[in-house]
Amino acid sequence: MSTVTQILEAVKRLPSEQKGEFWDRLREVDFEDAWDRQIEADAKAGRLDAFWQQALTDIKAGRAKSLDDDEYERLLKS
């Protein structure tokens, strides 16, 4: 049985009030932090180097442009 399965089974067995506390505390977990650590580890290990080189090549070839704040916000919303 995997750890995730074990956790799910344990949560199912919790009394109702503890399930509520579990969900409240789970919402407080910063999962973005894990994402940031993974990106940092990938960058340090060189796994992003090819993407960086492609981006530089595209910029030098004129296939990229800067975004002003309005364009950036518009893209985030789409």
Instruction: Check whether 32 has a pLDDT greater than 70.
Output: yes
Note the pLDDT of residue 75.
79
Instruction: Check whether 44 has a pLDDT greater than 70.
Output: yes
CA distances from 36 to 1, 26, 75, 78 (A): 29, 18, 21, 23
Q: Domain coordinates of the chain in residue numbers?
A: 1-47, 50-78
Instruction: Check whether 61 has a pLDDT greater than 70.
Output: yes
Instruction: Check whether 72 has a pLDDT greater than 80.
Output: no
Q: Identify the band that residue 43 occupies on the pLDDT scale cut at 50, 70 and 90.
A: very high
Q: Pinpoint the alpha helices (H) of the chain.
A: 3-13, 16-27, 31-44, 49-60, 69-77
Angle at 17 between CA 14 and CA 18, to 5 degrees: 45
